[in-house]
Structure 1
Amino acid sequence: MKDIPVHLLKERASSGLEINRFFKGDKPKADEPLGAHRDDHYIFFVIEGGWGSLMVDFNEIVIQESCLYYVLPGQVHHRIQNEGAYGWFIAVDTMLIPPDYRNVFENQLLLQQPYTLNDVQKRQCESLLNLLFERYREDEQAVFNLSVVHSLLQSFLGIAAGCFSQTGKPGMLMSRPVQLAQDFKKLLVEHVRTIKSPSAYAAKLNVSETYLNEALKKATGLSVSYWIQQEVILEAKRLLYYSQLNVKEIAHALGYEDHAYFSRLFKKAEGVTPLAFKADYRK
């Protein structure tokens, strides 16, 4: 039995970002996935007009004019049906999303419905995305261009996080697997540098390792070990990009005494060495 395919952003974009406009009636490209799949990154949609739909984890999501919507890493979804919709598609490496924003997006797991932008918010998003798209298409080698692109992206992500932070409904009951998944992810972000063992996280959550794994698979479709590795690599990428630490220092900061082992782990996950990743993102 074939597993659900996971599509990797690094295979399409070297800057941690892909942004495109789509129009009414656009047909899928020859290499574009049509069936159910997961992504290892966030996807945001901003609908400027018309309406479309997509299936996300067995739920049909209808997105209309002025809507903002996102798909989390690991969620199973199909290509957007946009016969009558036009707008923006933005794929973002999790590394580029600040932890505070991630908390907002991931805590919407049950309430993850499109957000309707008001006129001011829509105008701001459209202006920002047009400028981001212009800079994104410019020569990557231009001085500071990648920094400008990432700064504009941060502004868009801040607007999106601000919108969705207003949509929570206090008192809404979560299923046990969803609540456990959210508690686990919070612990993981806090302890990823020192704890890599699924059983240790299970102990902190007062459940068995088997139960935690079952809950994660039910809520996210992926195992505890998968999410631990994703968070380790994410933290490594942040340190490689934002800090002045060398690879050996980063390995030690993440709890690996053997920096050669850490480098092999990173290359297996990302397809490039830590040094190559750092060079690509800082060029």
Structure 2
Amino acid sequence: MKDIPVHQLKERASTGLEMWHYQIGDIGGDDKPMDAHRDDHYIFFLVEDGSASLMIDFTEVVFSKGMLYYVLPGQVHHGVGYQKAGGWFLAVDTMLIPPDCRKVFEGSLVLQQPHLLNDEQIKQCSGLLNLLYQRYLDDDQLPFNLSVVHSLLQSFIGIMAGCYTCPENPNVQMSRPMEIVQQFKRLLVDNICSVKSPSAYAGMLKVSESYLNESLKKITGLSVSYWILNEAVLEAKRLLYYSQLNVKEIAHKLGYDDHTYFSRIFKKAEGITPLSFRATYRK
């Protein structure tokens, strides 16, 4: 059996964002739906007209006019009847999702559900996304344009996180592997600068390293080592973009004594050096 493919945003977008506005019927009937796959990034939707559905981790999720929805990195999904909807699509690098918002999006005890907006919320979100799209399409050489794009994007993400900040149903039961994965992700966000050992995280969770790895592979399809490295690179990308620290300082902040080793693993993960990444995102 072939592995489920993982689509990487960096292969399509160099600045952490890909977005488009689509109308009902934009995807022709002769076009085949994308096969089941995972993404290494977040996907956000706002449906403005019609209805659509996604098959996500073997569950069909239906959404219609006025609904927000998101897909997490690692979730297996494919479209079902999405040519019948109109609205917004955004693919976003995880480094551009504030940690507090990630905890909201990744903290659901069950598969995330569409969130229905009221008329005023739809108006606000559509206006913000239209402005974001205009700046997204503008010449990257315009002064501060990328910073404006990312600021508008984070405003939208903040609105979405606010919509999904609500108490979970206390009667819902989740599997032990799902519980372990969610606890691991929370620990990872809080401890990545000081802890990078799979066995250390297993110890914090009071499970064996093999069980932690098995749980992550079952829920996300990827190993504990992958997620540790992924989180370290994400934090490095944030520091390269938002801070003035040099590469050596960033390496030390992330717990790497050898900054040349840090640069090598960053380049292996991203395909470019840390300095090239900073230059690309700050242009």
**Could you state the TM-score of these two structures normalised by the residue count of structure 1?**
0.96
CA RMSD of aligned residues (A): 1.8
Structure 1 counterpart of 2:249: 249
Query: How far apart are the structure 2 equivalents of 1:192 and 1:222?
Result: 17
Segments of 4+ in structure 1 off by > 3 A?
Answer: 30-33
Structure 1 counterpart of 2:198: 198
Map 1:41-120 to 2 at 5 A.
41-79=41-79, 81-120=81-120
The alpha carbon displacement at 1:215 in A equals 1.2
Query: How far apart are the structure 1 equivalents of 2:89 and 2:62?
Result: 15
Higher alpha-carbon deviation: 166-175 or 265-274 = 166-175
Structure 2 counterpart of 1:265: 265
Question: Is residue 111–residue 168 contact of structure 1 (8 Å, CA) maintained in 2?
Answer: no
Question: Is 1:125 paired with 2:132?
Answer: no
Distance change in 2, residues 1:266/1:117 (3 Å)? same
Structure 1 counterpart of 2:151: 151
Question: Is residue 213–residue 223 contact of structure 1 (8 Å, CA) maintained in 2?
Answer: yes
Question: Is residue 202–residue 208 contact of structure 1 (8 Å, CA) maintained in 2?
Answer: yes
Structure 1 counterpart of 2:38: 38
Structure 1 counterpart of 2:16: 16
The alpha carbon displacement at 1:25 in A equals 1.9
| Matched pairs, number | 283
The alpha carbon displacement at 1:32 in A equals 9.2
Structure 2 counterpart of 1:208: 208
**Counterpart amino acid of 1:270?**
E
Question: Is 1:278 paired with 2:278?
Answer: yes
Query: How far apart are the structure 2 equivalents of 1:150 and 1:89?
Result: 16
Q: Any idea what SS the aligned residue of 1:78 has?
A: strand
The alpha carbon displacement at 1:111 in A equals 4.2
Distance change in 2, residues 1:169/1:231 (3 Å)? same
Query: How far apart are the structure 2 equivalents of 1:32 and 1:248?
Result: 47
Question: Is 1:189 paired with 2:192?
Answer: no
Structure 1 counterpart of 2:174: 174
**Counterpart amino acid of 2:281?**
Y
Question: Is residue 47–residue 64 contact of structure 2 (8 Å, CA) maintained in 1?
Answer: yes
Distance change in 2, residues 1:244/1:155 (3 Å)? same
Could you list the per-position Cα deviations for residues 167-218 of structure 1 after superposition, in whole angstroms to 9, with x for gaps in the alignment? 6324532211111111111111111011111111001111000111111122
The alpha carbon displacement at 1:221 in A equals 2.1
Query: How far apart are the structure 1 equivalents of 2:154 and 2:27?
Result: 30
Question: Is residue 23–residue 82 contact of structure 1 (8 Å, CA) maintained in 2?
Answer: no
Question: Is residue 7–residue 40 contact of structure 2 (8 Å, CA) maintained in 1?
Answer: yes
Structure 2 counterpart of 1:226: 226
The alpha carbon displacement at 1:258 in A equals 1.2
Q: Any idea what SS the aligned residue of 2:148 has?
A: helix
Query: How far apart are the structure 2 equivalents of 1:81 and 1:268?
Result: 37
- Structure 1, unmatched stretches of 5+, are none
Distance change in 2, residues 1:226/1:33 (3 Å)? farther
Q: Any idea what SS the aligned residue of 1:184 has?
A: helix
The alpha carbon displacement at 1:5 in A equals 1.0
**Counterpart amino acid of 2:106?**
E
Could you list the per-position Cα deviations for residues 85-129 of structure 1 after superposition, in whole angstroms to 9, with x for gaps in the alignment? 100001111101101100000012514011111111111110000
The alpha carbon displacement at 1:219 in A equals 2.1
**Could you state the TM-score of these two structures normalised by the residue count of structure 2?**
0.96
